[in-house]
Amino acid sequence: MKITQEWLDKWDACEPGQKWFWAQEKRDHLRVVEKLIKEKRLGWANWVIVRGMTRKHFLAYAIYAARQVLDIFEKKYPGDNRPRAAIEAAETCLKKDTPGNRAAAGAAGAAGAAREAVWAAWAAGAAVGAAALAAWAAGAAVGAAALAAWAAGAAAGVKMQLKILFYGLKLLKRKVEP
């Protein structure tokens, strides 16, 4: 996909991001992300990645990000299975995207319980926040995937952010849905 001014306007790209983009030679979505990663502009890379994804891609991305930090939360709160339940509900929706599965993923049971523990998540590496957002992404929009990926990556550091971003690139390079 080629990034254009219309695309940047559609997604309300920030002025510094637009200035950076227009200084680049490449306009291809994937090349732009690769250049952002190379320049260590990881937040911007995540922003661009999710805006090139289909619904299935960003749901898979959010689930992947949440799974990467689930162990951080479970070590700190061994009896609390809310993040795992939220991730599993989102995975069910990814496998079979029905109105019922979307409702289950966004229901108070999995995602709602996980959202209630978001503040604890930040202290435990953002696993609950990422999981809640993954479940929310099953019934919501692109922003949930961006936030889940970033919450997970930010909690675990640059190495994890890069791992998540490279997974996002892999999803975008696929010609078929995940």
* 59 vs 137: CA distance, rounded Å: 6
Comparing CA positions, the residue from 37, 46, 34, 41 lying closest to residue 16 is: 41
Confidence band of 162 (pLDDT split at 50, 70, 90): confident
| Per-residue pLDDT reduced to its tens digit, 33-46 | 999 999 999 888 88
**pLDDT value of residue 125:** 47
- Single-letter residue type at 72: I
Confidence band of 77 (pLDDT split at 50, 70, 90): confident
Residue 28 in tokens:
């291809």
* pTM, two decimal places: 0.74
Comparing CA positions, the residue from 162, 137, 139, 142 lying closest to residue 152 is: 162
Return the higher-pLDDT residue of 34 and 112: 34
Compute the mean pLDDT over every residue in the chain, rounded to the nearest whole number. Answer: 74
**pLDDT value of residue 160:** 78
Phi-psi region for residue 126, left (φ > 0), alpha (ψ -120 to 50) or beta?
A: left
